[in-house]
Structure 1
């Protein structure tokens, strides 16, 4: 018998970075479920302002933090989310499973969550076909430039500057981060109608975390069924926005929500501003496309992060050039690098190492500086729409805007919706904002944000 959807919040999630958090919000919001994403733990008053929300998220920066930080900082928001009483609690990780034992440890986050959220077992869904992520026999694959790669051979993830992926078997990768037993329900069992039996075997064997393969629409909905129908009265799940995608797929298949939600699209705007701290090839292509279509490129000398005063002057310079570009009728695009092979990446690394600065501190400082630049540009020019590119960048940059929540407005590319910013005490309340992960989006993404989406065929 199908479990009905209860009243009140259905899903409560914590995202380990801001761009990934907006991806989880996107899945639920565009399925017709009102969703709010808070940028810090909300007060009771702010929760009351979104009393009708069926899903409530908190965006964090755990992906770039060590386990000791998680021990200090995660219990508070986890307990707040647990107090909401939602059927599903979710630790939202990146769809390329960015993590390592010393930074962004998904294993440590699950250990903390299992001590706070109720639940008998922890389902794990990382794949999401809508994002070009697929899991087969526990191994994760991701698309890049129209081709699929095993994650440890992926052109971006195998060379990630902080968490390079050298293992595509997510169970093995996770075993480096936690002693919790991990097992698998593979796609063959799912397609044969043996998913329940495979889950029972995994749980009988003592698995605390059960990874669920997802290859297509059928296995996506089956993963959602196993979570919803076999998860017990409360579920603590881990994974990407694939958790939400699986639940929505099953809820639609079971007739619990409509098969289609009303399409949303925004009107174009005259000008936008973009800031980017991403070093991914995808973002590099998007920067190149934008510059070819009239955006004003403003390269930031990121080496100056090693000296706070020099970096503040560098941000001021970039803001001045952005204002001048807007005065000329152009869209400013401030960026620190154009892809992993940009010499600026190695120069920054050398500068940071040369003064003994912690790379995480440098990353935080860069993100905050880009956020300050964006805030000054938006306020001085009266802009109504903007973009922050870079998974680690987005969290630190968005917090500089003085906003405390986001809601999804319209789809752009999977994983990066156009959002509306909320804040009771900021002039940026109502700003339309896209948070773009490094690997997300087609080459014309920045132009699509300006146009409010793409022309429909």
Structure 2
């Protein structure tokens, strides 16, 4: 590397990781997102980096597998000499004691990095995620779209097929996953001086808090949180934090204020992409609405039988017919959406995210190989990590920010048909009804 890194993050899925990639890039940090912790040789091919990320799979893992994976990954990131290591989680805190345990990630990071406490920041106001007195609220969709709900009453998250939100108080939710005591810096404390916030944090540590949760309702509050977190940053002993892309927004805002980074104020226009290929394993009602919009606006659709793919012993045989259907549509000049009929997936909680995501990635890879598709969109947080791996992606770097939380990127994929292509990965809750139209046009209408 030609300069020290400010931050390295490990994302618990792919769409969440591109979210962090975007907000670090917005802050002015040149960032590359890798599929696996990069080797020195790989890093040498990406010049001028301020930050790196790793798009992991831990959101869909049981705690024991998470622990094994994260011990290796965190150790590799610690070697990079970065001021901060961030475990990036979804802003809706998707997790449970059995799957994607954020508590287990905190335990691993706390033990490895040996710092006084672990800051926890879940709120991301620009994405419609808010934390008030320890309780998490989320907009249905992201940004300015949709109604805000307390998480345990959220129409989508309360019915998530793998990790349904049953408790909005993050401290109570986390207590089921770790025995570490969690303190809170609440909204009333954030309105005071920076010294008061720092003193309140010290007092919580002295009273036994090993995790400290920060409220936030506005982006302006993130800067104070970022200043506090960065005061603990040290390249010799990186400071470990956990949270949504709110962590990256907070640190980025602070670094911009100090002059360490220069925020990006405009993005290039990537232009339209016809035909556009969309693949969705999401069961979110937000994505369902976007699929309905695409269908009503001329997209051809190929509907996968998710149960058949799940039960298939030979995945390639299960997807071959769908590939040919999609190729036929592309040959006629149509934009195509390949999806798993999310409602049906929601009814079968035992369906494998790995099998579905891998199948979507195989379909994308083969369609791109045989057609002139140059831009690919993947929807669905749980399946996206597996889809990216099946596509053969090594890393992605941002091209432009079209919709908050889901940047358009350029893929580096040695030996794959997707090498150099434009790719977009979005979580199930992200975007307005015309999201796929925006990605087709390459601009916000």
Q: Say yes or no: TM over 0.5.
A: yes
- Cα distance in 1 between the residues matched to 2:218 and 2:126: 9
Evaluate the alpha carbon distance shift between residue 344 and residue 108 of structure 1 in structure 2; reply closer, same or farther with a 3 A threshold.
Answer: closer
Q: Which runs of 5+ in 2 are unaligned?
A: none
2:8 corresponds to: 12
Shift of 1:302: 0.8
Bigger shift: 303-312 or 51-60? 303-312
TM-score (norm 2): 0.94
Query: For 2:296, which of 280, 292, 299 is the aligned residue?
Result: 292
3-state DSSP class of the match of 1:74?
helix
Alignment of 1:29-428 (within 5 A): 29-144=25-140, 146-193=146-193, 194-230=196-232, 234-309=238-313, 312-338=316-342, 342-343=343-344, 345-346=346-347, 348-349=348-349, 359=350, 362-428=352-418
Is this contact kept in 1: 2:378–2:384, CA < 8 A?
yes
- Cα distance in 2 between the residues matched to 1:302 and 1:121: 43
- Cα distance in 1 between the residues matched to 2:51 and 2:310: 40
Shift of 1:230: 4.7
3-state DSSP class of the match of 1:86?
coil
2:422 corresponds to: 432
Q: Which runs of 5+ in 1 are unaligned?
A: 1-5, 350-358
Bigger shift: 68-77 or 151-160? 68-77
Is this contact kept in 1: 2:184–2:214, CA < 8 A?
yes
3-state DSSP class of the match of 1:304?
helix
Shift of 1:418: 0.5
- Cα distance in 2 between the residues matched to 1:135 and 1:335: 33
3-state DSSP class of the match of 2:407?
strand
1:389-424 Cα distance to aligned partner (Å, 9 max, x none)? 100110011101112111111112111100110133
Shift of 1:41: 2.4
3-state DSSP class of the match of 1:90?
strand
Shift of 1:310: 7.3
- Cα distance in 2 between the residues matched to 1:345 and 1:174: 25
Is this contact kept in 2: 1:124–1:211, CA < 8 A?
yes
Is this contact kept in 1: 2:124–2:219, CA < 8 A?
no
- Cα distance in 2 between the residues matched to 1:90 and 1:263: 26
1:90-141 Cα distance to aligned partner (Å, 9 max, x none)? 0001100000011100010111112223532211110001110011111111
- Cα-Cα RMSD: 1.8
- Cα distance in 1 between the residues matched to 2:232 and 2:34: 29
